[in-house]
Amino acid sequence: MSKSNKKNKDKRLTKKGRSGSRQLLLQVLYQHQLNGDNFNTLLSQSKQIKEFARIDQEYFELLLKEILKDTDTLDNIAFKFVDRSIEKLDPVERAILWIGLCEFSFHKDTPSVVVINEAIELAKIFGAQDSFQFINGVLDSFLQEQTA
């Protein structure tokens, strides 16, 4: 196993609280995109992971429900800020954008700097080499539009 693969494997679900919720949510949303699994299936499978006890379970469930309910809306928002079609987005990048855009849209109590930093960290751990820059650009553009 290469060093980068080992590094990524070692960081799987190591976080706690809301950061852990976002980490697991990214993986679950990736699965949803590939398999089309519904909310109940994804939640049930997530609860079987031993690390589930360490995350903010309520926040995880809430975000999962909100994102799955509004993926088309979140895609339409993201589309305004990306240079390619939504269908051509990497599933990891798409899931990270869904999480960030959902938090910006529905969880105003979460500071925007936290949302962006968490999204960048997810992209660095799970995304392609430079995807963190793409994620940062899209979320920052959305935030600037909202505050204008």
Q: Are 88 and 70 in contact (CB under 8 A)?
A: no
Please report the pLDDT score of residue 14 as a whole number.
67
Please report the pLDDT score of residue 138 as a whole number.
96
Q: Give the residue among 13, 91, 81, 11 at the shortest CA–CA distance from 52.
A: 13
Show the tokens assigned to 6: 């080992």
Helix (H) / strand (E) containing 9: helix 3-10
Q: Which residues of the chain have pLDDT under 70?
A: 1-14
Q: Give the residue among 50, 47, 69 at the shortest CA–CA distance from 60.
A: 47
Write down the pTM of the prediction.
0.89
CATH class name, domain 13-147? mainly alpha
Residue ranges per domain, the chain? Answer: 13-147
Please report the pLDDT score of residue 13 as a whole number.
60
| CA gap 119, 139 in Å, rounded | 9
Distance of CA 134 to the CA centre of its chain: 14
Please report the pLDDT score of residue 6 as a whole number.
39
Please report the pLDDT score of residue 12 as a whole number.
58
CA-based angle 120:125:127, to the nearest 5? 75
Please report the pLDDT score of residue 87 as a whole number.
79
Residue 115 CA: distances (Å) to CA of 40, 55, 106:
26, 16, 12
Question: Which DSSP string corresponds to 67-118?
Answer: HHHSHHHHHHHHHTT-SS-GGGS-HHHHHHHHHHHHHHHH-TTS-HHHHHHH
| CA gap 110, 138 in Å, rounded | 18
